[in-house]
Amino acid sequence: MRVNGAEILIRTLIDHDVKTIFGYPGGAVLNIYDALYKHSEEINHIIVAHEQGAAHAADGYARATGKVGVCLATSGPGATNLVTGIATAYMDSVPLVVITGNVAKPLIGKDSFQEVDIVGITMPITKHNFIVRDVNELQHTIRKAFRIANEGRKGPVLIDIPKDVTAEMAEYVKKEPQKLKESNDVDEEILDQVANLINESKQVFIYAGGGIISGDASEELLALAEKINSPVGMTLMGLGGFPYKHPLFTGMIGMHGSRCSNICATQCDLLIAIGARFSDRVINNKNFIKNAKVIHLDIDEAEINKNVRVDLGLVGNIKVILERLLPKLKENRNEQWMAKLQELKEADKCTCENKGELNPQIIVTQIKEAVKEQGIIVTDVGQHQMWTAQYYGYDAPRTFLSSGGLGTMGFGMGAAIGAQVGMPNKRVVLVTGDGSFGMNCNEMVTAVSQNLPVIIVIMNNSVLGMVRQWQKLFYEERYSSTTLNRKTDFVKLAEAYGATAFRAYTAEELQDCLGKAVDYNSPVLIDCVVDMDKKVFPMVAPGAPISEILLEKDL
C-alpha cells in the first residue's frame, strides 16, 4: 500500500501498540496531525499546554506503565521546548520515542523559519537520534527507534522528520515490532567469583537502584536479600523496588537517606550495588566504604568503575543475573550483623510529629491514608520530594515517580498527567512545592481538559525550600533570591483552570480536604500552608562521608 510519510508514521506507531501521544501541533507537523485526525479512534492525542509538558507526560506514562512513552512537537521552538524533558528521561533511563518535525529538506541549514538542528542539540541526551531524509527509510527508522529505546539500558530516542518527508509517498507494509536482543548472557566465571565473595562475607549490604524497577527484578532482589540475610538500602530511583515494611529494608540511602542505610554501607564488609550508579548524591567515593569489598551488577558496562572502583563488576540483565546467582549462594543468618541492623533501625525510629500542626510528615502520612494502596505518587524536586521519599513507604515498583538524575523542577505536573493516562485505575497524587508547581502549573489546563482525577498537594512554604536550606547550613543564612514573596493564590488559580481546590492550614483540615478529593473524578488541588523553616533531615553535607549525618538536633 502506498501512503504518505505521515500515514506511515502513525500506522507504525499503532503497530507498536501506541495508544497515546502527548504533543502540540505546528506548521512542520501538519501532515502528521492530519494523519492523527484520520486515526483518532486508534490512537489518542493529548494536547498539552507546552511542549515540555508533553515530554514530561510521556516520561510519566513510561515510568508508570513500563511501556515506551511517545511525544510529538513541531520544529524550532517546539523541538527545543522538549529538551529538558528528554534530558530528564535520559538521566533516569526512561524509554521515550520523541518525534519532531523539521523544515523541508531544501530549507535545512539555511536559517529557515522555525529551523533548528534538534539532532545536534539532543545528541548528548539521547540513546540515539535520527533525521529521516528518505521516506522509504521512515518505517524502518521508527521500528529501530522503539527497539533502541527499550533495549538494554532504556532511554529516549529522537526522530526528526522534515515536512516534505511526511508528504512524500512510499510503500507501507504492516510489520511486527523488532525483537529486543535477549540479554541472557552472563559471564559464568565472574558470576562464580561474585557468589564466592558473597558466601565468604559476614556483613553484606545491598545498595539497589532504579535498575531493579526497569529490569523487573524486584522479586529476585527480595529473594537475594532473604537468602543471604542482607539489609537493603534503596536509592531515590529504586523506591518501591523492595517492600518498605520488610525487616531487612533500611530505607533510602544517600544525602537524605536514613541513618541506618548510610551506617550499614560504611560498616559492611561487602557492598553489592545492583542497578545503581554510585551517584554523587549517594556514594561516589570508595573512601566512604573503605573497609568493604564492592560488587557492582549493572546492565550498562559504562557504569562499572565509572564513579567507584569495584572489586568485581558483572554486566547483564539484572533479573537474569540474580536468577543465576541465587542457586550458587549459601543460606546465611549473620546474627551479629542482624543485631547491629536492629540497633540502627531502632535508633532511626521517629514518632509522628504533633498532629495539630500541618507539617510535611503529617501531609505525606495523610496522603497515604487517603489513597491507601491504590496510589501512584509523583513529585517535583526539592524538600517536598525528599519528605515524600522518606515518609510515604513504597511497597511496589512504579508507584513513586520522580526526577532523580537531572532534578527537574516542573517535572511533576506533566508526569502526573502521563501516569494517570497510563494507569487510569490508579489514583495519581502529585506532591509538589510552590516553587516547582509555579514552573509548569499551566499543565493544569491539560488535566482539566482530559478530566483526569489527579490530586495535587502543594507544600506551600513561600520559599525555594531546598536551596534555602543550603543557604541556612552553608551560607550563613544569606537567603539570596529564595524567599519568593509571591502573591499567587493557588486555589483561585486552580479554579480558574476549572479544577476543584481547597486550602489547608491544619492537619484536621487536610484530612477533610483529602477525604473530599478522593471522591472527585476530576483534578483537585490542595494548597497546604507549611512553615518555611522546616528542613529535610537526615542530611549529609556535600562531599562528606555518608556516615557523617546531620540531624535536626545538630543545628
CA gap 141, 10 in Å, rounded: 13
Q: Which of 51, 151, 220, 443 is catalytic?
A: 51
Residue 539, beta-bridge partner list:
550
Confidence (pTM): 0.97
Complete edge-to-edge strand list for the sheet that includes strand 500-504:
400-401, 375-379, 427-433, 455-460, 524-529, 500-504
Q: Which of 252, 423, 439, 466 is catalytic?
A: 466
CA gap 305, 268 in Å, rounded: 20
Q: Do domains 188-348 and 360-554 have the same CATH topology?
A: yes
CA atoms within 13 A on the CB side of 41: 1
Q: Which of 7, 22, 146, 163 is catalytic?
A: 163
242 is catalytic: no
Fill in the DSSP letter of residue 483: B
Where are the strands (E) in 222-292, listed by range? 232-234, 249-252, 270-274
Burial 201-227 (b: 16+ CB within 10 A, else e): bebbbbbbbbbbbbbebbebbbbbbeb
pLDDT value at position 126?
98
Q: Which of 114, 178, 267, 450 is catalytic?
A: 114
**Is 188-348 a domain of CATH 3.20.20.150?**
no
Cα-based angle 188, 190, 194 (whole degrees, multiple of 5): 110
pLDDT tens for residues 402-453? 999 999 999 999 999 999 999 999 999 999 999 999 999 999 999 999 999 9
pLDDT tens for residues 454-495? 999 999 999 999 999 999 999 999 999 999 989 999 999 999
- What is the grid cell recorded at 523? 483534578
pLDDT value at position 351?
59
Where are the strands (E) in 20-164, listed by range? 20-23, 44-47, 69-73, 96-102, 128-131, 156-162
pLDDT value at position 519?
95
Burial 443-476 (b: 16+ CB within 10 A, else e): bbbbbbebebbbbbbbbbbbbbbbbbbebbeeee
51 is catalytic: yes
113 is catalytic: yes
pLDDT value at position 93?
98
- Single out the residue of 173, 145, 135 nearest to residue 4, CA to CA: 135
Complete edge-to-edge strand list for the sheet that includes strand 232-234:
249-252, 232-234, 204-208, 270-274, 293-298, 312-315
Q: Which of 1, 38, 42, 113 is catalytic?
A: 113
- We find that the CATH architecture of domain 2-171 is 3-Layer(aba) Sandwich (3.40)
CATH number for domain 360-554, candidates 3.30.43.10, 3.40.50.11740, 3.40.50.970, 3.20.20.70 = 3.40.50.970
Contact between residue 101 and residue 31 where contact means Cβ atoms under 8 Å apart: no
Question: Domain residue spans in the chain?
Answer: 2-171, 188-348, 360-554
163 is catalytic: yes
> For each successive 10 residues of the chain (555 residues), what is the average pLDDT?
97 98 98 98 98 98 98 98 98 98 96 96 98 98 98 97 98 94 87 97 97 97 97 98 97 96 95 96 83 96 95 96 97 90 86 73 97 94 98 97 98 98 97 97 98 98 96 95 94 98 97 97 97 95 89 78
